[in-house]
Structure 1
Amino acid sequence: MKSRLLFLVFLVAFLATNVAFGETFNVTNLEEFQDALTIAESNGEDDIINVAEGTYNINITSPLNYSTNDGDSGHTLTIQGAGVDKTILEGGRLRIDTDEDWNGGDRGADVTIEGMTFKNRRGYIHGTHINVKIKECTFSTGGGIEVRLDSGTITVTNNIFSGNSSVWGGGITTYLRSEGTITITNNIFSGNSAKDYTNPLNGYGGGVLAHLWLGTITITNNIFSGNSADHGGGVSVYLTSGTLTITNNTFSGNLASQDGGGVWARSYYDSATLNIYNNIFFDNTANAGDDLHIGCDCNGNHIGSIINLYNNNFSGNADFDTGQSEDLFINETDNYSHGGNIQENPLFVDAENGDFHLQSTSPCIDTGTNDAPYLPDTDKDGKPRIIDGNGDDIATVDMGPYEFGDICEGDFDGDSDVDGSDLATFAADFGRTDCSGDCEGDFDNDGDVDGSDLAVFAADFGRTDCPVCE
């Protein structure tokens, strides 16, 4: 009996040790990194690879590789660095392939990459039906990254893509050949290019190329500046059927040698819907459609897709009634509707140096529409998305990714001042260490209400000019 008990204790310890190893890897060099990827291919676990701070110089001929077909189906792979400025992969490729031969291999094998910098090479993720998340990374002076799936979801959040180049999707290519969802939110795309030097008309999407057969593409709270391509200097989208929504972005100084300096969009079937709301298009150039170029009759039946163009700011040469002009070109307008669009200098704080916040006199303040589809709750800085920025006591969303206005963190009751009633609310929370989203005074979201939160509240206390929020 005693020997049997000892055996069971040993067995439990052995299994626990192996599960822990299979789930989490802490790597500090390229050899350990590749070993972790190789084990994760077939260990049947939800794997996390923590990549320590440092610069990892990857050999161009020996990329980091995760490649499987059926061996790890349904499990997750998370690769996370120590921070975008701390973990740097340079020179070679990180290649993740969960379905080598497109035969439906590792379905549901979700992939997450976060908290690291990729330099001087293009990353690659390929799979069948998986969910891919790329968040809080930087891709610079290389080829960005390509995500190519049969179906699933692609979510790209809080990244920076700068100085990358490729034939398609200089910053990122997001490709779903059947159905799914593509979401691109809170990113910066600057100085990327898409160019095919063997075919000068074949470069699509300087910042982003998004391709989807059926489903939804949502692009919100992003900045696209100084990108270039043959088609779609900032963004190039191809949608067969489904919904494209572009809400609260800024497109500035992008260039297309052919069409769509800011955005180039194509929809195949007239059942597709294109929603363009609350964006700033300014100083983009192209041969046709400097700011926006939409082709919505690719099936040739002379019936256009549904196009909703509301509360955007264009560069100055857009005819919103006809939809066919220098800055705005839509080839089929029978299902096109518009309203609330303007054409003025948006008055950025310092566009030349990448600051696309709005000056206090910007015409884009409080001129968006609160009814925009997929309107985010917060702006790119994390501030409330709908506030009264012009002092008329009406909370209206701004155009572009940044909301204008100095928010009062301590105005809990929303009465435009921070006074005794707000102090009582804060005092009721002060000292708590068990916050899980229910402490109003936990301004830094670290799970407690302490001295750092008190400093934030004290800075606002006594203010009587807090903007109205919806």
Structure 2
Amino acid sequence: MKKIFLLTTILAGSLFSATFNVSTTPELRTALSTASTNGENDTIILADGTYKTTDDGEGTFVFLNQDCKNISLRGSDDNETFLDGNSTNRVIEFLGECQSNIHIEKLSIQNGNGNNSGAAGIYSTHDISITSSTINNNINAFVGGIQAKNIIIRNSKILNNIGDNTGGVYTEYSKNFEIYDSNISNNKATSTHTGSNATGGLKNVDKVFNCYFESNEVSTTNANAAVSATTIENSYFINNKGPQSSYTGTGNLYNSIVKDNDNIGFAGNSINSLFINNSTGLKLWDDVSIGNIFIDNQTAIQTLGSATIKNTFFSNETYDIFNGSDSSFPTVLFSNLNSEKVMGSFVENYHTIYTTLGFVDEDNGDYHLTPTSDLIDAGTTTIEGLNLPTTDLDGKARIVGASIDIGPYEFSTTRPTINSFTYTGNTQELNELTFTTNYTLTDGRYINSVSYDFENNETWTTSNTHTYNTAGTYTVKVKITDSEGEFSIQSKEIIITELDFASMTNEQKLIKAIDSQYYDEIIAIISDKESTSTSSGITTGENNVTSDPSSYNLITKAQSDSLVSLSQTSGYNDGLIAGKQYAQDNLAEFNLVTTTTRDADVQAATTSGITTGKQYVQDNLTEFNLITKTASDIAIASAITTGQANVTANPSTFGLITIADKDTAVSSAVEQGKQIVLSSPSSFGLELKEPLTKAKIDALSSGWHNISSPSEIMDLTIFDNASIVWIFNSTSNSWEAYSSNSTYIKQIENDSTIKLATKINAAAGIWVLK
């Protein structure tokens, strides 16, 4: 309670942030209004429920920023907390001339509607980040889902949004737009204006990583999934529809699958990706297509410049390449191009190869490679001007073997195997969880690191403990990396439930009440305030006493000295006479006696003093440097124990050795004796047995022979001329067998009780059939 009180005192003087807990639409509006002017970085926490813009007739939720501070809106889960336009209003807008950062987390923004510029779901003139949220079913004349300046989206869903220009998310050119681990599906652009650069999914996006685009649609022109993407990595484009491309731009496409789309579009450089059953092809200018696979497309690649196509494989295309320019001369290297399926002007084709694709299950969409695939180690890793990803579409290490594999997946039989990924602890918020991973490494390799990503944001740590401060659903990943740099990643979903406020400790209540980015700083300030308050209190108390000693029944040293001096000089002579007489009359008061009384008392005291002195000595032995007989015995026993401990701890100091050292010396002497005998056995009338050799085995007659070897046999080919060899392994208490005869080998392998021998231990029993 002391820290909580101090926290209140500190925050009253210098607030870092404010947190608003709301549960109704009017409370949300009040929090947005207050946060726009209070000069703090604010957090609004929304209780589970639906907050409709029409609940109070006020329309769109508005944050009109006037203090240039940041704001966060947080729910418990995007399936539990909804901001809803009720198909009537834009859902929420963040406005203001100064720049701030807006963060939305674990919310659903849905059912927005508008007939104006901006977006129906979220419209912002500020930078915005969105995490673990859903933008769903928003409809507008310009943008359906989101429009903002710089945008970062993580682990979210952009679904069923409709706009004339952009269905899903739109940002201005030259701004930064990144999206990770998200699903962009069923969005639609309805533009009927030629050259409007409409897109169903995302507009002007710079980076796409590990995202899924499905069934996005545009009515007339441009991309139905994404437009102007600089980098697309580890993503899927499935069944997107429109008269032109699924994505367009001049960036790079890596480790992705593009399937069943009406059009593909301008991809720039395309590396290690898979294109299946698309209506029109990948368009290349002076770009490269390296390590790609094309299957069942109407046109695989349309070249419009001097493109380079390398390590690229075509399977059952209507046209492998359509060269759309008389001035372009694309070059094809180390690919299986069918010259009969090339349309247009001249294409330079070198080193045509033929290959087996070798997918695990192409019919059911599993395009991982089997061990027989010719795509393994067939790619190139040297591409001028490009930095290739270090992982494949599964997030596993690239370049396992001699070179990179062609296509989006890397084949490996040696990467670590994650057998189990578990956790222990209380899954309520504000409680620590401990994560445990069981894994198997390839023989000969050792572990390099075990790391965890607790927030699914590619922030890895080797700590296996974590505390979630907010209830919700989290994805945790573990990454096992071996000594060769190969790694495997596995993820687990964890549901964190709320902890009742009354059950929280004071520290947990502080964590819930304070924005996490300020918690450590505030606790440091509290501790400093406690120290300062204690020191200040002591100083104040000292000053109070010294400034007014009479209030504490005290006088100063100067006052005391003055009173003593006065008593010595005032009435000295009269006092002397009166004092003498008073002393004579009151001897006991001054502890005085007459000489007669004194002599009697001395005689009595002499006798009593001797007795008393003896008793005093007995009661105060240490004063006279004495101890009792019992204490002496204890001290002697302790000294003996100490002496024994010294001898035990340092026997060599006393010319002794321990039994363990003696045993070691004896063992060493025995071993030396063995070595002497082994080095010159004839000196002791002995003959040293030689190890078994192939010649000795070959010299054996037909039938069974029981032999042994003085040393371990690693090369079992010395038995190749024998029919079969049986060995009893005393270590595992089991039989093992060896044969060069394939029939016997199959019988051995089919018998689960018999192990195929790979070596023979020294002195093992061996039965040989010749």
Q: TM-score w.r.t. structure 1 length?
A: 0.63
Q: Does 1:142 align with 2:138?
A: yes
Residues 291/319 of structure 1: CA separation in 2 closer, same or farther (3 Å cut) = closer
| Residues 272-283 of structure 1 mapped to structure 2, 5 A cutoff | 274-283=251-260
Partner Cα separation in structure 1 for residue 368 and residue 64 of structure 2: 49
Identity %: 20
2:408 is paired with a residue whose SS is: coil
Residue 265 of structure 2 corresponds to which residue in structure 1?
A: 292
Q: Deviations over 1:234-268 (max 9, x none)?
A: 43425xxxx81122211110011x311x1133xxx
1:399 is paired with a residue whose SS is: coil
Q: For the Cα contact (< 8 Å) 1:370–1:397, is it kept in 2?
A: no
Q: For the Cα contact (< 8 Å) 1:22–1:43, is it kept in 2?
A: no
Could you tell me which runs of 5 or more consecutive residues in structure 1 were left unpaired when the two chains were aligned: 1-9, 100-104, 212-216, 266-272, 295-306, 427-435, 448-455
Residue 224 of structure 1 corresponds to which residue in structure 2?
A: 213
Residue 127 of structure 2 corresponds to which residue in structure 1?
A: 131
Partner Cα separation in structure 2 for residue 28 and residue 393 of structure 1: 60
| Residues 413-432 of structure 1 mapped to structure 2, 5 A cutoff | 416-417=441-442
Partner Cα separation in structure 2 for residue 351 and residue 106 of structure 1: 55
Partner Cα separation in structure 2 for residue 326 and residue 61 of structure 1: 54
| Residues 451-470 of structure 1 mapped to structure 2, 5 A cutoff | 468-469=486-487
Q: For the Cα contact (< 8 Å) 2:212–2:237, is it kept in 1?
A: yes
Partner Cα separation in structure 1 for residue 46 and residue 363 of structure 2: 35
Residues 88/164 of structure 1: CA separation in 2 closer, same or farther (3 Å cut) = same
1:386 to 397, 402, 419: 397
After TM superposition, give the deviation of residue 98 of structure 1 in Å.
Answer: 3.2
2:45 is paired with a residue whose SS is: strand
Which of 1 and 2 has higher RCO (CA within 8 Å, sep 6+)?
1
Residue 246 of structure 1 corresponds to which residue in structure 2?
A: 232
After TM superposition, give the deviation of residue 328 of structure 1 in Å.
Answer: 4.6
After TM superposition, give the deviation of residue 413 of structure 1 in Å.
Answer: 12
1:38 is paired with a residue whose SS is: helix
Partner Cα separation in structure 1 for residue 153 and residue 197 of structure 2: 22
Residues 237/132 of structure 1: CA separation in 2 closer, same or farther (3 Å cut) = same
Matched letter for residue 397 of structure 2: I
2:248 to 252, 256, 264: 264
2:11 is paired with a residue whose SS is: helix
2:417 is paired with a residue whose SS is: coil
Between Structure 1 and Structure 2, the one with more strand by share is 1
Q: TM-score w.r.t. structure 2 length?
A: 0.41
| Residues 335-350 of structure 1 mapped to structure 2, 5 A cutoff | 336-343=307-314
Could you tell me which runs of 5 or more consecutive residues in structure 2 were left unpaired when the two chains were aligned: 113-119, 288-297, 317-356, 421-436, 451-458, 469-476, 489-770
Matched letter for residue 283 of structure 1: D
Q: Does 1:163 align with 2:160?
A: yes
Partner Cα separation in structure 2 for residue 171 and residue 321 of structure 1: 26
Q: Does 1:187 align with 2:148?
A: no
Residue 98 of structure 2 corresponds to which residue in structure 1?
A: 106
1:231 is paired with a residue whose SS is: coil
Partner Cα separation in structure 1 for residue 376 and residue 211 of structure 2: 17
RMSD: 4.9
Residue 102 of structure 1 corresponds to which residue in structure 2?
A: none
Q: For the Cα contact (< 8 Å) 1:221–1:249, is it kept in 2?
A: yes
Q: For the Cα contact (< 8 Å) 1:312–1:340, is it kept in 2?
A: no
Q: Deviations over 1:153-186 (max 9, x none)?
A: 321111111222111221212x134x44221111
Partner Cα separation in structure 2 for residue 365 and residue 56 of structure 1: 54
Between Structure 1 and Structure 2, the one with more helix by share is 2
Q: For the Cα contact (< 8 Å) 1:224–1:234, is it kept in 2?
A: no
Q: For the Cα contact (< 8 Å) 1:407–1:467, is it kept in 2?
A: no
Partner Cα separation in structure 1 for residue 164 and residue 411 of structure 2: 34
Q: For the Cα contact (< 8 Å) 1:312–1:368, is it kept in 2?
A: no
After TM superposition, give the deviation of residue 284 of structure 1 in Å.
Answer: 0.5
After TM superposition, give the deviation of residue 47 of structure 1 in Å.
Answer: 0.8
Residue 119 of structure 1 corresponds to which residue in structure 2?
A: 110
Matched letter for residue 417 of structure 2: C
Partner Cα separation in structure 1 for residue 235 and residue 412 of structure 2: 14
2:31 to 12, 27, 36: 36
Residues 437/201 of structure 1: CA separation in 2 closer, same or farther (3 Å cut) = closer
Matched letter for residue 250 of structure 1: Y
Residue 63 of structure 2 corresponds to which residue in structure 1?
A: 66
Q: How many residues align?
A: 375
Pick which of 134-143 and 312-321 moved more. 312-321
| Residues 302-381 of structure 1 mapped to structure 2, 5 A cutoff | 307-315=268-276, 318=281, 326=299, 328-329=301-302, 332-334=304-306, 336-343=307-314
Residue 294 of structure 2 corresponds to which residue in structure 1?
A: none
Larger Rg: 2
Matched letter for residue 259 of structure 1: Q
Residues 387/81 of structure 1: CA separation in 2 closer, same or farther (3 Å cut) = same
Residues 348/264 of structure 1: CA separation in 2 closer, same or farther (3 Å cut) = farther
Matched letter for residue 209 of structure 2: T
Partner Cα separation in structure 1 for residue 449 and residue 90 of structure 2: 52
Matched letter for residue 210 of structure 2: N
